[in-house]
Chain A
Amino acid sequence: MSKQPVPAAHKMTIRLAPTRTSLSFLVVCALALVPPISMALGQEYYIDMFTRVVIFAIAAVSLDLILGFGGLVSFCHASFLAVGAYAVAILAFHGIQNGWVQFAAAILAGGGVACLVGAVSLRTSGMYFIMITLAFGQMLYFLGISVQEYGGDSGLTINAPPEFGLGLDLGAPVNLFYTCLFVLLATLVLLGRVADSRFGMVLQGMRMNETRMGAVGLSPYRYRLAAFSLAGAVCGLAGALMATQALFVSPALAHWARSGELMVMVILGGGATLVGPVLGAIAYLGLEEFLSGITDNWQFVLGAILLGFVLFARGGLARLRR
């Protein structure tokens, strides 16, 4: 499908899959410089902060697959983050310290829960889809609160970081940072290939005109469910990394405001670009960090900036160069 020549005029109007490989490469390289710079400055705190940024970036990139490319405004993405984190924490709680097992469980759990949630939610569309995903997110949030064995409301502490063997100690901040950065790079490459594949084209086509795609003989449900599950699996992996960093999980991970934040990162950076959400995560968490350092009323300022962004700028950071 992608091999066939496309008329020039068509190319202009459709603008399929602007995955921005070069920009992705630049951003990942820039992030790789964070540990040496912060160690040179004696501010190793920034390694922890940017580990968090990279983990959120992975989650936001996975959300971009369904929100940006698929046009599905999902309001429960943070719950897959929580599912992945809890998979790691629960296995550690039962004494299974092997990182490969823990992370595989996180990916499977994230993907599996996303598949179940998607199977019901994708029957609806538009406003109803936003609301039903919101409901599933809340359901999982309260599920986390109600399971007392795993800490309930107050969360669950993990005693030791996952053990991967190979001499890799994820307890050391620098090792964890580069592991997360590697996962981000792998996610960008993987989802970039997915977005450019026939599957990705169909997904984007359905965002643009569902009726026409239907007329071609493609049913949206299965494509969207596959994308939704894949995004959930990647987000589950991000959750596993988050649990590894914090060595603590709590239902607050799944709160709807967290899903809102992920959505903000995608839109702020620019949807359907993959690298955009990475920039969005850097910008959002960076702003939060910067503003909370200078004023107690940082939420007010952050809200005003976001509002100004919606009202006056369009398309997101990754498209500013246009």
Chain B
Amino acid sequence: MFPLLAEQALNGVQLGIMLFLMAAGLTLIFGIMQVINLAHGSLYMAGAYLFAWSFAASGSLAGALLVAIGGTALLGFALEMSVFRSLYARDPVYQVLATFALTLIANNAVRMIWGDTALYAAVPAFLSGKVALWTGLAYPAFRLAIIAVGVVVAALLYVLVGHTRLGMLIRAGASDRVMVGALGVNIALLYTLVFGIGAALAGLSGLLAGPIYTVQSGMGDDVLILAFVVIVIGGIGSIRGACIAAILVGMVDTVGRAFLRPGLALLLPRAAADGAGPGLASMLIYILMAAVLFFRPRGLFPPRTR
């Protein structure tokens, strides 16, 4: 029993980490610019495609990482300067519409560039095996690497936002952008930079997801919804909240999928449990979100400012 539980818990953490990378970018972008970005899933997809394609073409891991992360960051800069800049002052409804349009464009664009079929994403040779963590528990090295990357990125973000000049400007921009602008900070540049960081994080999440899930058009859409759930549970604008909520959502989803069906089988007839289990497991995180918002309408860790 223990290895099974531990494996599911690790899977939960790994899903949580990927969601955290997505959610950190989203919450950063929303916290600073107050813009709803449905196209964040497209940046995730771009990261996955760029990595799978460049890794297959060049065989160089470092090169592929650079292409995927640098590419999505550049894409983020370009999107911010061409589209998002004119959305900041608009009603949320227009932000939804414009970014919905961007996802249509992006999902179609990857089909035009890379074709209709899913792209195969290779795992680097040194991460392709399994690591024995415990007797009876061998865990894929690649998934462990994801967890490690997530921990490193979380630490870097903590330092960046909490202990650097740029982080100070980001926090100040989130609490009072007019005042920060009045003090002579180039707000436009700050926004572009933050958007680029968020895009790179989404790209990183996507490139890590490539070998585990399928690299195909529209792959970002479902993850996007999960990331929204995460930032809402965590409190919009709070990176700490996003981190905790991401792990929580990852765990609830994974454990629910693994144990809800056998659990239901104890209460219901076998066939009913087999039928209802997977659907109910998919509903769990939304129920969790509705429950959290019912008791804490601004999430678990609402930012103290504003």
A297-B108 contact in complex given A131-B228, A267-B97, C-beta closer than 8 Å: yes
Are B228 and A134 within 8 A (Cβ)? yes
* A143: chain B residues within 8 A (beta carbon): 279, 283
A67 on interface, CB distance cutoff 8 Å: yes
User: Which of A12-20, A188-196, A300-308 faces chain B?
Assistant: A300-308
Establish whether residues A307 and B102, one from each chain, have CB atoms under 8 Å apart when the complex forms.
yes
Chain A residues near B298: list those with CB within 8 A. 124, 128
Given known A-B contacts A73-B93, A146-B280, A304-B105, A310 and B293 have beta carbons under 8 A apart: no
Interface set, chain B 268-298, CB cutoff 8 A to A: 271-272, 275-280, 282-283, 286-287, 289-290, 293-294, 297-298
**A123: B residues at CB distance < 8 A:** 293-294, 297
Which chain B residues lie closer than 8 Å to A271 at the CB level? 93
Structural contact, A128 and B293, CB atoms closer than 8 A: yes
A135 to B231, CA, bound (A): 12
Residue numbers in B under 8 Å from A126 (CB-CB): 92
Contact among A146, A302, A310 for B276, CB-based, below 8 A:
A146
Contact, CB under 8 Å: B232 / A263 = no
Q: A132 contacts B293, CB within 8 Å?
A: yes
Q: How far is the CB of B277 from chain A (nearest CB, A)?
A: 8
B105, A132: Cβ atoms closer than 8 Å: no
On whether A303 and B108 interact (CB within 8 A), knowing A127-B92, A128-B236, A130-B92, the answer reads yes
Residues of B contacting A128 with CB < 8 Å? 232, 236, 293, 297-299
Most buried by B among A131, A143, A260, A305: A131
Q: Which residues of A lie under 8 Å from residue B279 when comparing CB positions?
A: 142-143, 145-147, 152
Of A73, A142, A310, A311, chain B has the most CB atoms within 10 Å of the CB of: A310
- Give the residues in chain A near B276, CB-CB below 8 Å: 146-148
* A300 near B108: Cβ-Cβ < 8 Å: yes
Interface size class of B (residues with CB under 8 A): 35 or more
Residues of chain B contacted by A146 (CB below 8 angstroms): 275-280, 282-283
* A139: contacting residue among B94, B96, B275, B290, CB under 8 A: B290
Q: Which residues of A contact B297 (CB under 8 A)?
A: 123-124, 128
Known contacts A143-B283, A311-B86: does B236 contact A138 (CB below 8 Å)? Answer: no
CB of B282 within 8 A of CB of A310, answer no
**Within the assembled complex, what's the spacing in Å between the Cα atoms of A65 and B59?**
55
- Is B101 located at the chain interface by the 8 A CB criterion? yes
* B108-A260 in contact (CB<8A): no
Question: Given A73-B93, A147-B276, A299-B107, A142–B236 Cβ distance below 8 Å?
Answer: no
Contact B282 A145 (CB under 8 A): yes
Query: Which listed residue, A67, A73, A132, A302, touches B290 by the CB 8 Å rule?
Result: A132
Within the complex, the shortest CB–CB distance from A132 to chain B, in Å, comes to: 5
Do residues A152 and B286 form an inter-chain contact, with CB atoms below 8 A?
Answer: no
B297 → chain A closest CB, angstroms: 4
How far is B79's CA from A94's CA once the two chains are assembled, in angstroms?
52
Confirm or deny: A136 has a beta carbon within 8 angstroms of a beta carbon on chain B.
yes
User: Which of A135, A152, A306 has most B Cβ within 10 Å?
Assistant: A135
CA A149 to CA B293, docked complex, whole Å: 31
Contacts of B242-283 to chain A: CB distance below 8 A: 271-272, 275-280, 282-283
Q: Does B30 count as interface, using CB distance less than 8 angstroms?
A: yes
Q: Which residues of A contact B277 (CB under 8 A)?
A: 146
CB distance from A266 to the nearest CB of B (A): 8
Q: Are A124 and B293 in contact (CB under 8 A)?
A: yes
Interface string of B218-245 (1 = CB under 8 A from A): 0001000100110110001000000000
Q: How far is the CA of A303 from the CA of B231 in the complex (A)?
A: 26
Is A256 part of the contact surface with B, judged by Cβ < 8 Å? yes
**B:81-130 near A, CB below 8 Å:** 83, 86-87, 90, 92-94, 96-98, 100-105, 107-109, 111-112
User: B104 — which chain A residues lie within 8 A by C-beta?
Assistant: 299-300, 302-303, 306
Contact of A120 among B38, B103, B290 (CB under 8 A): B290
The reply on A264 being an interface residue by CB < 8 A is: yes
B15 at the interface (CB under 8 A from A): no
B18 within 8 A of A: no
Residue of B nearest to A314 (CB): B94
Interface check A257, CB cutoff 8 A: yes
Residue among B36, B38, B87, B93 making CB contact with A67, cutoff 8 Å:
B93
Q: Give every chain A residue within 8 A of B283 (Cβ-Cβ).
A: 138-139, 142-143, 146
Contacts of B108 in A (CB 8 A): 297, 299-300, 303
Interface string of A61-82 (1 = CB under 8 A from B): 0000001000001010000000
The answer to whether B290 touches A267, judged by C-beta atoms less than 8 angstroms apart, is no
Select which of A73, A149, A299, A310 is within 8 A of B105 by beta carbon: A299
Question: Which chain A positions have C-beta within 8 A of B30?
Answer: 127
Residues from chain A with a CB closer than 8 A to the CB of B109 are 300
B contact set with A: CB distance below 8 Å: 30, 36, 38, 83, 86-87, 90, 92-94, 96-98, 100-105, 107-109, 111-112, 221, 225, 228-229, 231-232, 236, 271-272, 275-280, 282-283, 286-287, 289-290, 293-294, 297-299
Q: Show 10 A/B contacts (Cβ-Cβ < 8 Å), sorted by A.
A: A120-B293, A124-B297, A135-B232, A135-B286, A139-B287, A142-B282, A147-B275, A256-B225, A303-B101, A306-B100
The 3 closest A-B pairs by CB, nearest first: A146-B279, A148-B275, A303-B104
15 extra A-B contacts, CB within 8 A, seeds A120-B290, A147-B279:
A128-B236, A131-B228, A135-B232, A136-B286, A138-B286, A142-B282, A145-B278, A148-B272, A263-B96, A297-B108, A300-B104, A306-B104, A307-B98, A307-B102, A311-B98
